[in-house]
Amino acid sequence: MIGRLSGILIQKQPPQLMIDIHGVGYEVQAPMSTFYQLPELDQPVVLLIHMVVREDAQLLYGFYSESERLLFESLIKVNGVGPKLALTILSGISADEFVKVIRNNDESGLIRLPGIGKKTAQRLIVEMKDRFDDWKGDTDNTGSYATESGSLSNEQDIIKESVSALIALGYKPVEASKMISQLDTQDQSSEMLIKQALQNTVKKY
């Protein structure tokens, strides 16, 4: 099983990226919290990996920190929560904040995330509340921090990438477009637009 990848970042379009390792490109899906930490293209990157083996595919999920990977692995053990929803959760809320929400039995803090209704929120709280007794937070990280650059080539392309990423994270197309349209898109990267859109969603609750 693959537990870590170290190579050159050659593609990144949330929620998917590609790492070149000795001429082999590894496709990896990652939460936005990891995308915010990625370096520019053609730069070295190191990610922790969770590998899912299915009959029809071998899927790689990448994380900047060990706490993110541990939370992802804990989430997909919950009945009704698959990898896609787990990535959505990690994209919309930090690992430490998620643990706080679970400990406080805060259903509304979970329902604000796309794809999580009242029943799923209740299930997450019931099944996960006892899993974080020894939670230490984000103290063990890997990879390289990135500067928040808005140097991508075309503003319209960046907007389209941002909307597509939000849709992939579980938002409806109309909702995703509205979230981006409310932002100042000039001189922004897609990662920063997505980050601002998700933060604005959180502030409504």
Number of domains in the chain: 3
Domain coverage including residue 44: 4-63
CATH of the domain at 19: 2.40.50.140
Whether residue 112 sits in one domain with residue 101: yes
Whether residue 170 sits in one domain with residue 185: yes
Whether residue 16 sits in one domain with residue 46: yes
Average pLDDT on 135-143 reads: 53
Whether 145 has a pLDDT exceeding 50, the answer reads no
DSSP 65: B
Average pLDDT on 154-168 reads: 81
Average pLDDT on 15-33 reads: 94
Q: Which residue matches tokens 């920063």?
A: 192
The full DSSP string for 99-141 is HHHHHTT-HHHHHTSTT--HHHHHHHHHHHGGG-TT---S--B
Average pLDDT on 165-186 reads: 82
Q: Which helix (H) or strand (E) holds 5?
A: strand 4-13
pLDDT in tens, 110-122: 888 877 889 999 9
**Strand pairing of 16-21 and 24-29?**
antiparallel
pTM comes to 0.73
163 in Cβ contact with 54 (< 8 Å): no
Structure tokens at 194: 């997505």
